[in-house]
Amino acid sequence: MPGSNFFLDKSDPASWRALNGLALKVADAAEQAGLPRSVMELVNVRTSQLNGCAFCLDLHVRLARDAGVSDRQLAVLPAWRDTALFTQAERAALTIGEAVTGLPGHDSLHAGMTAARAALTDAQYSALQWAAVTMTAFNRISILSRHPVRPRSSAGAAGPGREPVGSQA
């Protein structure tokens, strides 16, 4: 029907399930690598900010708070480099999230990723890259589908019928 939203996730349930399966594998890899849930949610929120996904921001800000990310950290997240509110591991994770999402020029990408890798194990470095790649895919689906941000009191956080695993979430 013209004018109504076309929910990409609902139009091809098998592909949606496959993406959710990837998100579950990434979450497992992150857990096995010893990455705290709070670090993963910081990456999810920052990636969603960069991609401009209202639905995923609504979901992952809530999940970040639940995982122990402070309101102060969430408030300054776009300017995280200019604060002392983030640990070395969180800074490395945010560097990776931004690099994967924005794909800066080769030299900038290499410098940032080299610094991030020095602060992480290989398993953590890999899991964080996969997390940002997966979150970006969920952002794109929600943006293309125009998933609405609905009041939690009447529709919960699930939006168009299902809450994306989105993500390591």
Of residues 63 and 1, which shows the higher confidence score?
63
| Coil/strand/helix, residue 21 | helix
Q: For residue 117, with 0-12 CB atoms within 10 Å meaning exposed, 13-18 middle and 19 or more buried, which class applies?
A: middle
pTM of the model: 0.86
Q: Which two three-digit tokens encode residue 92?
A: 């490395």
Residues 92-98, mean pLDDT to the nearest whole number: 96
Place of tokens 């091809």: 12
> Rounded mean pLDDT of 71-99?
97
Domain boundaries, the chain: 13-147
**What would the pLDDT profile of 99-109 be if each residue is shown by its tens digit?**
999 887 777 77
How much helix, strand and coil, in percent to the nearest 5, is found in the chain? 70, 0, 30
| pLDDT tens readout for residues 6-24 | 999 999 999 999 999 999 9
Could you tell me the CA-to-CA distances from 98 to 30, 79, 85, 158 in Å, in that order? 18, 12, 18, 26
pLDDT in tens, 132-167: 999 999 999 999 999 999 898 754 444 443 344 444
Q: Are 142 and 158 in contact (CB under 8 A)?
A: no
13-147 placed in CATH 1.20.1290.10: yes
